[in-house]
Amino acid sequence: MNAKASNKPMPLGRGLSALFGDADASYQPRPVAAAPVPQAQDGNTVHMLPIEWIQPGAFQPRRHFDDLTIQELADSIKEKGILQPLTVRTLEEQKNSFEIIAGERRWRAAQLAGLHEVPALVRVFTDREAMEIGLIENVQRQDLSPIEEAEGYKRLVTEFNYEKEDLVKVVGKSFSHIGNLIRILTLPETVKKMVNDGALSMGHARAVITAKDPEALANEIVKKGLSVRQAEALAKKMLQGKITSASRKESRADPDILALEKSLEQTLGLKTKLQTKGSKGSLTFYYTDLDQLDELIKRFQD
């Protein structure tokens, strides 16, 4: 299966319903000699597939899965089952093997829940469609971090010859949004990790891109809890040479403070920043979704 497309993609903008074939009878499951679904005649038939026959999709844009939310989904599956089937395609070169097109979180949670088989729709997709569907599904559900979303766009551009105009039609995002996201992939790995962890917002990342020393500015933003506007102003001053990187001039943080931050992070599962000045200071927790915020609030209320 060749992931590299040689031609420009056809006009897009069909949306998830068209890509999944909900209204298109032409989508037919591939005949699989030893698979449990060779008799299926339409892609809307739900099949119960052994969970070990299913594997993650090669074109899944999501790289990070939150353990807490997966466990919560597993608990829900134990009580109510899987309410929405996975969407998979057959792997012709492997016997009894299916690749996930949509539903990897459900598949992971089903394993935690101890299920032996899961409901799935078996459909036919090209590599390009598999990548497109995975990206659209996650973007629409806001499941991706800015870095994951940007990497998804970049793969469509570099591996499948998409133009940015095509991406605008596919995902329903503005040209500037897609362009800004792809730009943040040029940031240092340490800064991209801050974005993935939620310590830096997309607005912060755009400001950091313009800095002479992106890593130093990023550290300054996190350390001082700067707003996006403050970060933009600091980046401008650094470019104009009015200030140098304050992060490099300051002495190393107190090892006791670092140890306490690490201990809190391990206990809460959240990035933590402790700043002190004499007998005063501030304690900041960084969460990446509302579930983490709810869990943090519950801990303080107990």
pTM (whole model) above 0.75: no
Q: Residue 196 corresponds to which tokens in the numbers above? A: 């993935």
pLDDT interval class at 253 (50, 70, 90): low
Domain count, the chain: 3
| Model pLDDT for residues 265-302, shown as the tens digit of each residue | 878 888 888 887 767 788 888 877 777 787 888 877 76
CA 86 from chain center: how many Å?
A: 18
Nearest to 129 by CA among 92, 156, 158, 166: 156
Residue 272 counted as domain residue: yes
**Are 82 and 34 part of one and the same domain?**
yes
104 catalytic? Reply is yes
Residue 157 counted as domain residue: no
DSSP letters along 217-228, please? HHHHHHHHT--H
Residue 162 counted as domain residue: no
Nearest to 275 by CA among 251, 292, 253, 250: 253
**Are 206 and 120 part of one and the same domain?**
no
CA 283 from chain center: how many Å?
A: 27
For β-strands 98-102 and 54-55, DSSP reports them as parallel
Dist CA 204 CA 217 (whole Å): 10
**Are 193 and 281 part of one and the same domain?**
no
Residue 159 counted as domain residue: no
The angle subtended at Cα 131 by Cα 141 and Cα 44, nearest 5°, is 75
Residue 179 counted as domain residue: no
Dist CA 160 CA 153 (whole Å): 10
**Are 204 and 284 part of one and the same domain?**
no
The angle subtended at Cα 106 by Cα 101 and Cα 111, nearest 5°, is 115
Final residue of a domain: which of 205, 226, 249? 249
| Model pLDDT for residues 37-76, shown as the tens digit of each residue | 433 345 578 889 999 999 988 877 666 777 887 898 899 9
Residue 94 counted as domain residue: yes
Question: CA torsion 147→55→69→142, rounded to 10°?
Answer: 40
Average pLDDT of the chain to the nearest whole number: 76
Say whether pLDDT at 158 is over 90. Answer: no
**Are 225 and 297 part of one and the same domain?**
no
pLDDT interval class at 120 (50, 70, 90): very high
* Across 4-13, average pLDDT: 42
pLDDT interval class at 131 (50, 70, 90): confident
**Are 21 and 89 part of one and the same domain?**
yes
**Are 63 and 102 part of one and the same domain?**
yes
Q: What residue type is 103 in one-letter code?
A: G
User: Beta partners for 121?
Assistant: 46, 87
Greater confidence, 94 or 302? Answer: 94
**Are 120 and 19 part of one and the same domain?**
yes
Final residue of a domain: which of 111, 126, 141? 126
Whether the Cβ atoms of residue 166 and residue 9 lie closer than 8 Å to each other: yes
* Across 112-127, average pLDDT: 90
Dist CA 73 CA 67 (whole Å): 10
User: Beta partners for 102?
Assistant: 87
Rg (CA), the chain: 23
**Are 55 and 120 part of one and the same domain?**
yes
**Are 68 and 100 part of one and the same domain?**
yes
Which CATH number is 21's domain given?
3.90.1530.30
User: Beta partners for 90?
Assistant: 98
Final residue of a domain: which of 94, 126, 158? 126
- Position 242 scores a pLDDT of 63
Say whether pLDDT at 220 is over 70. Answer: yes
Domain extent for 41: 15-126
Residue 2 counted as domain residue: no
Q: What residue type is 114 in one-letter code?
A: G
Say whether pLDDT at 142 is over 70. Answer: no
- Position 23 scores a pLDDT of 34
| Model pLDDT for residues 70-84, shown as the tens digit of each residue | 898 899 999 999 988
Whether the Cβ atoms of residue 13 and residue 170 lie closer than 8 Å to each other: yes
* Across 184-197, average pLDDT: 89
- Position 236 scores a pLDDT of 85
**Are 92 and 192 part of one and the same domain?**
no
- Position 280 scores a pLDDT of 76
pLDDT interval class at 29 (50, 70, 90): very low
Question: What percent of the chain shows pLDDT beyond 90?
Answer: 13
User: Beta partners for 283?
Assistant: 274
Residue 154 counted as domain residue: no
Greater confidence, 12 or 134? Answer: 134
**Are 56 and 34 part of one and the same domain?**
yes
Selecting among 79, 93, 99, 104, the annotated active-site residue is 104
Question: What percent of the chain shows pLDDT beyond 70?
Answer: 77
DSSP letters along 45-61, please? -EEEEEGGGEE--TT--
